[in-house]
Amino acid sequence: MNKTLIGLALFSILLGSGAAKASEPAFIKTSVSSAFETDFTSAAEKTVNAVVCIKSFSSRQQNPYGAQGGYDPFGMFDFFFGNPGGQQRQQPRQQQKKKSEPVQTGLGSGVIITEDGYIVTNNHVIDNADKLEVLLNDNSTYEARIIGTDEASDLALIKIDAKGLSPIVFGDSESVKVGEWVLAVGNPFGFNSTVTAGIVSAKARSLSTNNKGGNMSIESFIQTDAALNPGNSGGALVNLNGELIGINSAIYSNTGSYSGFSFAIPTTIVKKVMADIRQYGTVQRAMLGCSVVELDAKLAKEKGITAAKAGCLVASVSDMSTAKEMGLEEDDLITAINGTEVHNFAQLVEQINKFRPGDKITVTYYRNNKEYSKTGTLRNSQGNTAITKKGDFSELGCAFMKISAETKQHLGISNGVQIQGLKNGVFKDAGVKDGFIITEINDTPVNSTDDVEYIYNQIMKSGNDERVMFLKGVYPTGKKYYYAVNLENAD
């Protein structure tokens, strides 16, 4: 037998074909199955008419696909456009150029969720837009209005005046399995109704380097290798039944374009956020009330934990919290919420964010390697179960007046706005007096009512646990004062 034939014979054995099968060791299991076939056409047909193109217009000119960078925990990660989470503070409006006719500054996608025109998209797709234009798959165009936004989950709800649309069918993101085929539908680079395919690469993926439980931004993504690019943001991630399992939100990339992995917000979070925005105008966010760290082998050895290999180890417990009510203590290991296992911080946050303040949950945890379950009522960041209402700038309880050049010169200040007509509201509750001149809010100079309102709106839509305005200023007498204004009371 020549070398070529030997090579072919070995190749035949490696493939497990022909007579080689008879000589296979007993411990090797060989499966004989038909060729794998997958048909994506049905899922695509069910989805394309439910996905829209969203064009944002603003007088502040930007790249149509937005700024790169910004939210960049690994130095490689970019949102499709805009910089939520890591966005640098906008300059006060008085420092911006006079507004001109709005021009297109952004391009993204959205998903129709009702027949009468409610559409879910990413917050960063519509953030800071002066006008929104929605293009349907049949090329009809509508102007949209913003119903509500949630920066913590990077989701937004908008509405167009239309009837008889083709809403998407929601699927269950918790039942999705790693390795399952999925389709991503959106408008990359403005190419409408583009469909790409991939598999679910991972679930409950956190992209933050902080896993200690201090930041309540929702970071529990579905990771997929379906190709996504700028413009896909806000589009649909669907299973092979054409059911929505996630809203595409981010990519992992050196360049800002697709290079391997993409991330979607699961529908368990999407449904809750959209329902809250429609019903209350803002998201009802429940808090467990403890900070945690993820268990690893080193920590388990240090703490003597042998009963479980994964979970969230309690680092501290807040007063007036659900965790306190349940009797959770430092070094307790949380392993499940309502029977659903939580192996890491991302999974814990995802489970808690399915509920509202006032809902009861059962927490399973280990203490001294013994398993316990306790039930308690979830609370909000203020330690109660009250419904949070949408903030209104008028709740500050005053008007703001420009100050003259003479007053600035007399007081030795270069900018500021003066409080007038103070009435009941959060400013008065904080001890602010009529006539106080605000020079800075949260370290940002202010010089007009627009500046104050802009900062207020940014604070109110942020995902921070505590919403506070830190005022720096001076009274007409020349006495300097500082105030902390709790905007939780502005709801």
Cα gap 264→338, rounded to integer Å: 24
**Is-contact 269 350, C-beta < 8 A?**
yes
Per the structure block, which two tokens stand in for 327? 């009797």
Active site residue: 56, 233, 291, 321, which one? 233
Active site residue: 154, 276, 332, 451, which one? 154
**Is-contact 254 243, C-beta < 8 A?**
no
Cα gap 63→69, rounded to integer Å: 13
Q: Is 124 a known active-site residue?
A: yes
Q: Is 394 a known active-site residue?
A: no
Q: Is 233 a known active-site residue?
A: yes
Cα gap 230→5, rounded to integer Å: 52
Per the structure block, which two tokens stand in for 224? 């997929």
Amino acid at 13: I
Per the structure block, which two tokens stand in for 262? 């993409």
**Is-contact 223 205, C-beta < 8 A?**
yes
Per the structure block, which two tokens stand in for 402? 């420009």
**Is-contact 381 465, C-beta < 8 A?**
yes
**Is-contact 185 235, C-beta < 8 A?**
yes
Q: Would you please indicate which residues are annotated as catalytic (active-site) residues?
A: 124, 154, 233
